[in-house]
Amino acid sequence: MTITTVKPTKPWMARPAQRLQSLGVFLAAIAISYFVVQISDFKGKLAYLTVFFLAFMVLDFIYQYLTLSKSAAKDAIARAVIAFGMAVVVFPIFSILVTVFLRGYKGLHFSLFSLDMRAASMNDPIGAGGLQHALVGTFLMVAIALVISVPLGILTALYLTEIRGRFTKPIAFLVQAMSGVPSIVAGLFILSALIYTVTRAYSGIMGSLALSILMIPTIARTSEEVLLLIPSDLREAGVALGGTQWRTVALVVVPAAKSGLVTAMILGIARVAGETAPLLLVAGGSDQTNLNPFNGPMASLPYYVWKAYSFGTAESVTRAWAGILVLLIIVLILFTTARFLSGRKG
C-alpha cells in the first residue's frame, strides 16, 4: 500500500520565475531613477528615493497587468504604496542611528566615563576630560524624578481605573493635557514658581521636579492602560473572598499588573532622559561632578551635548556626538527593556 503525502502548494508564495521578474523590475526602477536624477534638477538621496518609488510602481503595475490581471496590478500599487510608507518611516530612523554611530564613536575613549571636565576644555584633544559629571547628574535627577513620579502616577492610574470617583473625567483630561505639554513649559513653571521666589539658585532638585512634571503623565497613562487589561474576574474573585476594595487592589490587581507597571516606569525614564530645555532653565550646568542635588548647578547629558556643540570646533563637536551616542544607547536600552517586559506574561 502506497501512502501519498500531500505537500501544500502555498499559492501565495512567489515562484522563482516571478521573483526573477520582480528583480528585473526593481533593477529597471533603479536605472530609471539614476537616469532621471542625472538629467534633471532633482538631486540628493530624497530625489533618488522618490523617482525610484514612482518608477517601480509604474513598472510593476504594467508588468502585473500584462502578465496576470487588472486585480493583480491594483495589488501591486497597494504593495508599493505600503512599502514606500514603511521606507519613509524606517529610512530616517536608520539614517539617524548610522549617523550618530559614525560620528559619535570617534569621541569614545577610556577616560570618557571616569573623568569630568573640571581640568579640561571642550576644545582640548578628545582624550582629555570626559562626561562623568553629565552621567552622574542625569542619573541623580532622573532617579529623584522617578521617586516623585512613580507613586503619583500609579496612584492616579488606580484612581482612574479602580475608584472611578466624581473627579475621574477631570483628572483623565488633565493627564491627557499634561502629556502634550512642551518640556520647556515644565522648566518655566519651576523657574517662576520656585527658583525666582524660593531658592534663587540652580540645583539638581529643581531639574528633578521639572522632569517629574513630564514623567507623571507618561507613567499614569501607561499604568492606566495596563490596569485596564487586568480581567474583572480577578477583582470579583477578591471581593467574593471577603476582601475590601483596597486589599483587592493591593494584593490582587497590582501584583497581576506588576510587569506592566515596571514597563510604565521605564517608559517614563526614557521620556525624560534626553530632555534639554527644562534642565537648562532650572538645573544650570557644571563642568565638575556634583553629588549633592540640593546645592549648586548640576550637569546632564543634554547640557553636555549642548555646551560641546556650541563651541563649534572639531574637538568639541566630536565630544557632542559622543554624548549623543551615549544618550541614544541609554534610551534604546530603556525602550528595549520596556518592550521585553511588556511582552512577558504575569
Delimit the domains of the chain by residue range: 18-106, 132-343
So what's the pLDDT on residue 54? 84
Q: Pick the residue with more confidence: 49 or 2? A: 49
Q: State pLDDT tens for residues 233-280.
A: 888 888 888 878 888 888 888 888 888 888 889 888 888 888 888 998
- Among 42-46, 81-85, 215-219, the minimum mean pLDDT is found in 42-46
So what's the pLDDT on residue 212? 94
Alpha carbons 27 and 158: distance in angstroms, whole number: 56
Q: What average pLDDT does this structure show over 68-82?
A: 80
Residues in the chain: 346
So what's the pLDDT on residue 216? 93
* Average pLDDT over all residues of the chain: 85
Q: What average pLDDT does this structure show over 45-56?
A: 82
CATH class of the domain whose range is 132-343: mainly alpha
So what's the pLDDT on residue 49? 80
Tell how many helices (H) and how many strands (E) occur in the chain.
14, 0
Alpha carbons 176 and 137: distance in angstroms, whole number: 29
- Is residue 6's pLDDT more than 70? no
Global pTM reads 0.79
Alpha carbons 211 and 214: distance in angstroms, whole number: 5
Q: What average pLDDT does this structure show over 299-310?
A: 90
126, 105 in Cβ contact below 8 A?
Answer: no
**DSSP string covering 97-118, please?**
HHHHHHHHGGG--TTTTT--ST
Alpha carbons 220 and 157: distance in angstroms, whole number: 5
So what's the pLDDT on residue 130? 87
Percent of the chain with pLDDT over 90: 29
Q: Pick the residue with more confidence: 75 or 330? A: 330
- Is residue 9's pLDDT more than 60? no
